[in-house]
Structure 1
Amino acid sequence: MGDRRRRSMRTALVAEALRVALAGRIRTDPAAGLDIVDLGGGTGGFAVPLAVEGHRVTVVDPSPDALASLERRASDEGVSELVRGVQGDAAELPEVAGKSTADAVLCHGVLEVVDDPVQALQAMGSVLRDGGVLSLLVAQRNAVVLARALAGHLAEARTALQDPDGRWGPADPMPRRFDEAGIVAQLAEAGFMVHTVHGVRTFADLVPAAFVDSEPGATEALADLERAASQHPAFRALAPQLHILATR
């Protein structure tokens, strides 16, 4: 399976769960769409497809280059009028997005790098309307412990297991990883109620690409396996990422 197809599989399950959550926020007139803020949304991998579905999306990202790519992507899809890019970060979110203005906030792969996760979550909560949805995607500690051990880096695996931030050493490029209990506790501290937790990429990174490419129906079977395992507690605990849907 090529890298693009693997990335598509990884994001598809997140997009499916998000779509179900957003369906519960559809107003009296479904054609009106929702107001969505995508923190760290970069080039619009989630924002543009959501705009294609009729939602209004504000992408808040610190990178001007990413926002320029977002603008081009939205133009190519004919949804420029529904996508707005704003330069900023988590700390500036209430000012640049506005308080109580969003039906949903996306925070995918951002909480790992902010200075204070709870403060960032509180900022996200402040821009949500009552009952608004938070879609949170974070890196999970357990997966990197297993990965370092299987690669023969046993000392690094033990370090990641015991380190408060789930890092395997000074050279680890990831500033912070989470476990399920820890991130759920931080969400509660920030005033959120967790509704669902899914594991992401449990098998997609492990199954050999040559097998999936050569076996008829293997791509669909792998996607089905990912979907089934995503809510299974034992396998969810081994997933490289956790996708959490919560409300404030």
Structure 2
Amino acid sequence: MSDPMRPPVSHHHPQGTSLRSGTSGPRASLRTAVVWEVLKEALDRQVKATGRESLDVLDTGGGSGKFAVPVAALGHRVTVVDPSPNALFALERRAAEAGVADRVTGVQGDVHGLFDVVERGAYDAVLCHGVLEYVDDPAEGVRNVAGALRDTGVLSLLAAGVGGAVLARALAGHFTEARHALSDPAGRWGEGDPVPRRFSAEQLTGLVQDGGLRVGSVHGVRVFADLVPGVLVDTEPGALDALIKLEAAAAEQPAFHAVATQLHVLGEKG
């Protein structure tokens, strides 16, 4: 298998609903709100701990800058490593449109060859979002991103959750596929599954700890969003805001980690 750090744009996620059809606008906040709040708080803590208002942030597999550009807008310097020239071109355009081009640098590369393109131990924070599902060796990937951190750095790790896939296949009536995902070592529901690997919360926290980091927090992401019919959010006044608040309330509760579409782990060094 090749070693892309993110899925091709044409891949259709198996838990399809209209809630995920857009990548911008209000609904996009359903995908990112929980992670963004955790990340922003972590960066604020880093600013206070280091005494430096502008941090050095590395975004591995950061693509077109969905997180990198908002992080740069906070005043931080962000390096994005991604294997796709098209994604890096889109990153450059997005950063320019947001007025942060001077704080965003795109570099072509991947997590397994990370130190061919960036310096070891040079970053206050590292983002590794949607990467581990697609790499050949997730443990090595985590060790590398941990190795890019300074002595007191933080890692934001986001990956697909196996429980969310099981639940979504079952609710769609694909019971055999749901059972397959439940028992498959990689958490895949079948040959047609576009996601090479999914994780449990225990597996992700184990990878973070094995990478030499302390687990700061674990959050379930998109616990309900991928299961709610899009028409409900479109037609009910205030429904989107209420759903975002529900996601935030459930995110920290371990009971919901088992059914989240994605899992977010904050790792801390030092």
TM-score by length of 1: 0.95
Q: Aligned partner of 1:235: which letter? A: F
Map 1:105-124 → 2, pairs under 5 A: 105-124=126-145
Residue in structure 1 matched with residue 7 of structure 2 by the alignment: none
The share of aligned pairs that are identical, in percent, is 54
1:13 touches 1:227 (CA, 8 Å); kept in 2?
yes
Residue in structure 1 matched with residue 184 of structure 2 by the alignment: 163
Whichever structure has more helix as a proportion of its residues is 1
Matched, 1:15 2:10: no
Q: Aligned partner of 2:51: which letter? A: T
Deviation digits for residues 61-86 of structure 1, max 9, x if unmatched? 00001001111111111111100000
**Shift in Å at residue 212 of structure 1?**
1.9
Residue in structure 1 matched with residue 124 of structure 2 by the alignment: 103
Residue in structure 1 matched with residue 242 of structure 2 by the alignment: 221
SS in 1 for 2:177: helix
Residue in structure 1 matched with residue 51 of structure 2 by the alignment: 28
Of 228, 235, 239 in structure 2, the residue corresponding to residue 207 of structure 1 is 228
Residue in structure 1 matched with residue 11 of structure 2 by the alignment: none
Residue in structure 2 matched with residue 52 of structure 1 by the alignment: 73
Matched, 1:152 2:173: yes
SS in 2 for 1:90: coil
1:34 touches 1:55 (CA, 8 Å); kept in 2?
yes
Q: Aligned partner of 1:147: which letter? A: A
- CA-based RMSD of the aligned residues comes to 1.3
The structure whose RCO (Cα within 8 Å, separation 6+) is larger is 2
2:204 touches 2:265 (CA, 8 Å); kept in 1?
no
The 2-side partners of 1:233 and 1:13 are apart by 15
CA change 1:29–1:104 in 2 (3 A) is closer
Q: Aligned partner of 1:112: which letter? A: E
The 2-side partners of 1:134 and 1:28 are apart by 19
**Shift in Å at residue 29 of structure 1?**
4.0
The 1-side partners of 2:244 and 2:172 are apart by 25
**Shift in Å at residue 183 of structure 1?**
1.4
Q: Aligned partner of 2:120: which letter? A: K
Residue in structure 2 matched with residue 189 of structure 1 by the alignment: 210
Q: Aligned partner of 1:64: which letter? A: P
**Shift in Å at residue 149 of structure 1?**
1.5
Matched, 1:142 2:163: yes
Deviation digits for residues 56-114 of structure 1, max 9, x if unmatched? 00000000010011111111111111000000000121231101110000011000001
TM-score by length of 2: 0.88
Unaligned runs of 5+ in 2: 1-18
Residue in structure 1 matched with residue 153 of structure 2 by the alignment: 132
The 2-side partners of 1:48 and 1:186 are apart by 27
Runs of 4+ in 1 over 4 A off after TM superposition: none
Q: Aligned partner of 1:28: which letter? A: G
Of 90, 93, 109 in structure 2, the residue corresponding to residue 69 of structure 1 is 90
Of 35, 40, 43 in structure 1, the residue corresponding to residue 61 of structure 2 is 40
Moved more, 157-166 or 184-193: 184-193
How many residues matched? Answer: 246
